[in-house]
Amino acid sequence: MNVKRVLIPTDLSEKSNAALKSADLFIDKFDCTVDLMHVIPLSKYLGDSFDKIGVPLSMDKDIYPKLIENQRKELSAFANEHIKKKDKRGEYIVNIDRKPSDSILRQIEKGNYDLVIMSAKGDHFADFFHGSATDKVIRRSKTPVLTLSQKMLSDHINTIVVPCDFSNHSLAAIPLAFDVAQKFGAKLELLNVIEMYAHDVHGIEPTTIGVDEEAVYGGLKGRLNSFFDDYEEYNFSVEDGEGDFQDALVHHENGEENRIGFKTIILKSIAAHHEIIEYANENADLVVMSTHGRTGLSRMLLGSTTEQVIQHLEKPQITIKPELKE
């Protein structure tokens, strides 16, 4: 993970400071430059122009420039307070938009960022919705997004958990997790949850189905090998380990090999997201996972495991929306 440019969107509230307070950690680890962004919601003001009510002011000429100037000064003050290295403070970006998430997404694409860091909680945060702007950015951003509820400390990132099934999209999060684990000196765990489907009619309890964990582990490891064979651009291979469910990821680059051991965890549950959330909250310091970024009716009706985890996970998480060739 080559992180040279980082974008931190903030609503300038105290609750959103977790991302900004973590900036120095990423500057130290990646030697990156950090841009700060604030989007002023248009709905906070009267409208596009005061002309309609007979006030001799123009929003475009008189009001907006002042708002942007004031908010840029506030962003600069935030940066001075939280980012120690002056030469790593990048741009202070202030926009006015009806949809803050759209403005953030446009800036992500325009700025060619390597990582976006957002606080899970903002000024208008609601637990049920996880913060609408953050949720939309996670689903649509092509750049990895780190969300967190409190300041990250490097000595607290000891275990990185990667929830994955047998799909290519879920496995595509592993190279990113490998890179982050290297930077933080953390260990890796791959978490696979087998969903137990059963009828629950008129109070009948779901049945418990036995799982051959060895077979699941072998199948998942086989899929991981096939994934790296199919996507050679990642330059990874899997090396057999000596312990049960213990193996190593090996990255090949310029004739050199870097390896990190990983453990495969097999669990079973009626709903995968419940088990992932419970396990990660108890055992992970950071979660890395893929999202398909579904939108529209299918997301409203079905949701996805990733979105359920994102909404309720207490630990920091990096989501990635991989673009894989078919």
Q: What is the DSSP string of 49-69?
A: -SGGGT-S--IIIIIHHHHHH
Question: Which residues, including other chains, have CB under 8 Å from residue 223's CB and lie 6 or more apart?
Answer: 166, 171
70 and 39 housed in the same domain: yes
pTM, full prediction: 0.84
132 and 174 housed in the same domain: no
Last residue of one domain, picked from the residues 148, 180, 207? 148
pLDDT band at 295 (very low <50, low <70, confident <90, very high): very low
AA identity, residue 147: T
281 and 249 housed in the same domain: yes
The better pLDDT of the pair 255, 133 is held by 255
| Within-domain flag for 325 | no
Q: How far apart are CA 166 and CA 17, in angstroms?
A: 37
Per-residue burial over 61-73, b = 16 or more CB atoms within 10 Å of its CB, e = otherwise? eebbeebbeebbe
124 and 164 housed in the same domain: no
The CA–CA distances, whole Å, from 268 to 123, 168, 173, 183, 245 equal 37, 21, 21, 31, 16
pLDDT band at 200 (very low <50, low <70, confident <90, very high): very low
66 and 171 housed in the same domain: no
Q: Residue 57 maps to which CATH number?
A: 3.40.50.620
AA identity, residue 101: S
pLDDT band at 65 (very low <50, low <70, confident <90, very high): confident
pLDDT band at 316 (very low <50, low <70, confident <90, very high): very high
pLDDT digits (tens, 9 = 90+) for 75-105: 999 899 889 999 999 999 998 888 889 999 9
| Within-domain flag for 64 | yes
Using alpha carbons, select from 71, 87, 72 the residue that is nearest to residue 34: 87
Tell me if 147 sits within 8 A of 10, measured CB to CB. no
Give the three-state DSSP class for 297.
Answer: helix
pLDDT band at 197 (very low <50, low <70, confident <90, very high): low
Last residue of one domain, picked from the residues 148, 167, 200? 148
AA identity, residue 14: E
How many C-beta atoms surround the C-beta of residue 208 within 10 A? 10
The CA–CA distances, whole Å, from 313 to 133, 252, 281 equal 17, 33, 7
Predicted local confidence at residue 126, as pLDDT: 40
214 and 83 housed in the same domain: no
Tell me if 262 sits within 8 A of 189, measured CB to CB. yes
% of the chain with per-residue pLDDT over 70: 81
* Averaged confidence pLDDT in the chain: 82
Last residue of one domain, picked from the residues 88, 114, 148? 148
Predicted local confidence at residue 159, as pLDDT: 97
As a whole number, mean pLDDT of residues 141-154 equals 90
| Within-domain flag for 201 | yes
140 and 163 housed in the same domain: no
Looking at the structure of the chain, the number of domains it has is 2
Task: Measure CA of the first residue to CA of the last residue in the chain; give whole Å.
Answer: 23
Predicted local confidence at residue 204, as pLDDT: 37
| Within-domain flag for 192 | yes
233 and 309 housed in the same domain: yes
133 and 159 housed in the same domain: no
Q: How far apart are CA 16 and CA 104, in angstroms?
A: 15
Residue 48 has pLDDT above 50, yes or no: no
- Tell me the residue range of the domain where 64 lies: 5-148
